[in-house]
Chain A
Amino acid sequence: MKNKKLKFGISIGIILAVVAWEAISGFQQSKTYYVTVNELTGGRMARERVRVGGVVAAGSIERRGGQVTFRLAQDAHSVPVVYVGTDTLPDTFVGGAQAIVEGEYTAQGEFRAQKIQAKCASKYQAKPQGQAQATQDVSALSGTR
C-alpha cells in the first residue's frame, strides 16, 4: 500500500516538476516591471523590459512620417515616447487617455514603446459633470441616493 502511494506521489511529482520548470522559464521570458511615470523619471528605472503607466498628455500626440510621438504624463512629470511597434494604435489612444506603454527607456531619456494599451474609462464618469457645467452655472455635481 505504501508502495502504491509512493509511486503515485512520484508520478505526480514528475508532472508537477515539469510544469514548474515550464512556469519558471516562461516567467523569466515574460516578466515585465510595471512602473508609473513618476517612478521612471525618479531614477528607479529598470534596465529590463518595462511597462509604464500614465496619461497621454493632451495635445502632445504628433504623427510625422508614419511615426507617432507623444508625452506620457503623471502629475508634473512626463516622458517623451516614440512608438516603434507594428500594431495599429488602439481607438482609445487619444489625448487624456490612460495608457500603458511597454518597451525600453533609453539613456537619452526617451521611451521607445513597442506596445501601447489605452483606455478612457474616466471620460465615462466625467461627462455628465461636463454637460452640467456647460449648460447650467453650477459649482458641483453629486450623486445622492
Chain B
Amino acid sequence: MNEVGSVGLVAALAFAAYGVVAGALGGKLRSLRMVRSAERAAAAFFVMITLAIVALETQILGDNFHNAYVATHSNRDLPLYYKVAVLWAGQEGSLLFWTWLLSIYGGLAVLLNRHKNRQLMPYVVAILMATGVFFSSITFFVANPFGELSVASAAGLQPFQPADGNGLNPLLQYHSMVIHPPMLYLGYVGFAVPFAFAMAALITKQLGDNWIRTTRRWTIVPWMFLGTGILLGGRWAYSVLGWGGYWGWDPVENASLLPWLAGTAFLHSVMIQEKRGMLKVWNIVLVITTFFLCIFGTFLTRSGIVSSVHAFAQSNIGPFFAVFLGIVLFFSVSLLFLRLEYLKSENKLDSMVSRESGFLFNNWILLAAVFAVLWGTIFPIISKAVQGATVTVGAPFFNKVAIPIGLLLLFLTGAGPLLAWRKTSFQSLRRNFTLPLAGAVVVGAGLFAAGIRHFYAWMSLFLCAFVAVCILQEFYKGARTRQKTGGENFLQAVYNLTMRNTRRYGGYVVHLGIVLLFVGFAGQAFQAETKGLMQEGDELRVKDYALRCSSIVSGDTPNYAYQRIRLEVSKGGRPLGTLEPDRRFYKASQQPTSHVAIRSSLAEDVYTVLAGQDPDSGKAIVEVFVNPLVAWVWIGGFVTFFGTLLAMVPSRVERQMAEMRQAQEVAVRASDAI
C-alpha cells in the first residue's frame, strides 16, 4: 500500500509539472490541443492524489502500524469516525489532504469552465498546477506519509510493525474536531482559484470584470468554509480545552483569521469594480494578499515557527514554505506592476458619503485589522531578528486593537448597504437612518437602565440594535413595495424579494449573522468564574447559581478510563438538572484530559470542568464559568452560513443578465461571421 501511495504522489507531481508547462505553452501558442491536454493533466492530478489518499486511508482503517504515520497517530480501539480523521491529524497526512483538496478545486474549476473563459483557462490551469507541484513535492520529498517503520538489527534493516499505535491526540477526539480541519483547509485551499483567475487575467490582459464575475462563487465558497472552520475551531476550544473561552489569540487561530479578514475585504471591494469599474489594482492586491495569507497560515500552523499552545511538531518544512511564499509574492507583484496601465479606474470617487466610500472604509479597516493581527502574531520573529530578544504580545494587545476595529466594522455592516452609489443625499440619510438610530437609542437606554456600564459591551449591543434594525428595515421596505404592486402577502413578498436578488438579501442575512456574533462577543464582558475543592455533598456558588456535588464515580471504556462528577445545578433555588464533567485517561496515548460539561441557554452557559484531584485532600478540583450570551456566537455562525448559501443561489436578476449577455455574444458572433 505504501508503494501505491508513493507512486500516486510521484505521478501526481509529474502530471502537475506537465500541466504547468502545457497550460502556459498552450495559452501562449493558442494551441487548443495543448490546453486540452493540460486540463486532462489537472484531472489526472486529482486521480493520482486520490489514489494516495485511498492508500493512506486504507492503512489507517486497517490498523497497519507498519506505516509510520498510522503508528504515530492512530490505534486499534479508536472509534471509526476518528480513524477517518487521522488522515488530517498529523503533519504528513494533513499536507496530503491539502494537496487533495487543491486537486478537487482544480478539477472542478476546469470542469465548470471548460466552455467558458477560453483565454483565461490555460493559465488558470498552469497556476493551480504550479501550486500542486509545490504541495505534492513537499508531501513526497519532505513530509511523506508513506514512511515505514523498520529496525536495524544484526541482520540489517528489518521491517517493524508495533502491536498498536500511539493513538490520536485525545484533545482531538471531539466531534467538531473531525470536521474543523477539513472546513479550514477547504477555505485555505479554495482561495487558490480566485488567485489563479486573477493571475490569468493579468497574464492575458483580460482585466475587465470577467474574472471577477467568474470567481465570485469561487471566493464565497472558501470564505464560507474558512469562517465555518474558524468557528468550529472556537467551538472545539470552548468544549474541549476547558478554559472557558473560545478565542485566545493564539498564533494558529490568528493564522486562520488573517485570510478570512483579507477575503472579506476582497468580497466587498469586487462589488465596486463590477458596478463602477473602480479599484482594479486594489482587487488584485487583495486577492494576492488573501492567497498569500492562506499559504502563510498553513506555514505558520505547520512549521512551528511561532510557539503556540496547539503548535504541532516542529518540522523542517519551514524553509520550503518560505521559498514558495517568496516566489508567489515576487511573481504576482511583478506581474501586477507590468500590467498597471491596463488597470486604470473607469470612475472616480464622487462623495464621502456613498456606497463606494463605505466599501473603501470597510476595506481599509479590514486591512488595518489584518496588519495589526499579523504584526502581533509574527512579532516574536521580528523582534528576534531585529533586537535579538524574542518579545511576545498577548491577548490584551489583540483585544485593544480588535475591539474598536470590530465595532467600526459592525457599524459599517449596517450603514454601508443603506448608502446610495455615487452620492447619498441628506434626505435619504435621514429617511434611512431615523428608525435604526431610534431603535439603537431605545436598546442602549434600556441596557444602561439595566445597569450595564461596560463601555465596549454597551457600544457593541447598541450597534447590534442599530444594524439589526437597518437590515430588517430593508427587508420590510422591499416587501411592502412588492405587496403594494403585486398583491402578495408579506411572507411571499419577503421570499420573492430575496430570491429576486439573492446576492443582496443573502448578504443582509450574512450581516444579520455577524450582528448575532457580536451579541455573543459582548457577553464576554460579563463572564464570571469560580473554583473550588469538592466531595459528595459540597456546594459551589457562582452568580446566582448553586452547584451541589451528588456523586463522584469512576469507570472504564476500551479507549479510556474516566472519573466523573455529578453536579446538581440550581438557580435561585430552582433545580436546572445535572452536569457531569469528567476527566479521562486515554490508554493509547497515556494522556489525561478533562471533558467539560455545559448547560447552554440563550441567556448564558454554565460551564463546568473537572480539572483534577487535589493531591493533599483528595477532593475533586472543580472550575465553574458562567458565560453570558455565548450561544449567540454559534447561532450567528449558523445564520452567516445560511446567508452565504443563500447569496450563492442564482438569482432571477442574475439569470436575466446572463441571458442578456449570451444574446449579445451570439449577436456579436453572428456579425463577426458576416
Residues of A within 8 A of B (CB): 1, 4-5, 7-8, 11-12, 15-16, 18-19, 22-23, 25-27, 29-35, 46, 51, 53, 63, 65-66, 86-89, 91-92, 100, 117, 119-121, 123-125, 127-128, 131-132, 136-145
Contact = CB atoms under 8 A, between A and B. Distances in A.
Contacts of A29: 396-397, 400
A120 B125 CA distance: 42
B392 A51 contact: yes
A119 B149 CA distance: 25
Contact of B616 (A53, A63, A121, A131): A63
Contacts of B592: 91
Contacts, number: 160
Given A33-B391, A145-B144, A136 B151 contact: yes
Contact of A132 (B72, B151, B312, B360): B151
Given A29-B396, A140-B151, A144-B147, A23 B313 contact: no
A138 B152 contact: yes
A70 B262 CA distance: 44
Interface of B: 2, 6, 68, 71-72, 144, 146-153, 157, 160, 162, 166, 169, 243, 307, 309, 311-313, 348-352, 357, 360-361, 364-365, 368, 372, 375-376, 380, 389-401, 404-405, 408, 531, 589-594, 609, 611-612, 614-616, 621, 623
A8 to B, nearest CB: 6
Contacts of A100: 307
B102 to A, nearest CB: 22
B616 A66 contact: yes
8 contacts: A4-B349, A12-B364, A33-B390, A91-B592, A119-B309, A125-B313, A141-B151, A145-B6
Contact of A26 (B389, B392, B397): B397
Nearest to A118: B309
Contacts of A63: 615-616
Contacts of A131: 162
A4 B351 contact: yes
A5 B150 contact: no
Contact of B150 (A11, A137, A139, A144): A144
Query: Nearest 6 pairs between A and B by C-beta?
Result: A26-B400, A88-B611, A143-B147, A26-B397, A34-B390, A30-B396
Given A32-B392, A34-B380, A142-B150, A88 B401 contact: no
A127 B166 contact: yes
Contacts of B368: 15-16, 19
B69 to A, nearest CB: 9
A26 B399 contact: yes
A87 B621 CA distance: 11
Given A19-B372, A19-B404, A8 B360 contact: yes
Contact of B151 (A53, A89, A138): A138
A86 B623 CA distance: 11
Contact of A1 (B243, B348, B405, B594): B348
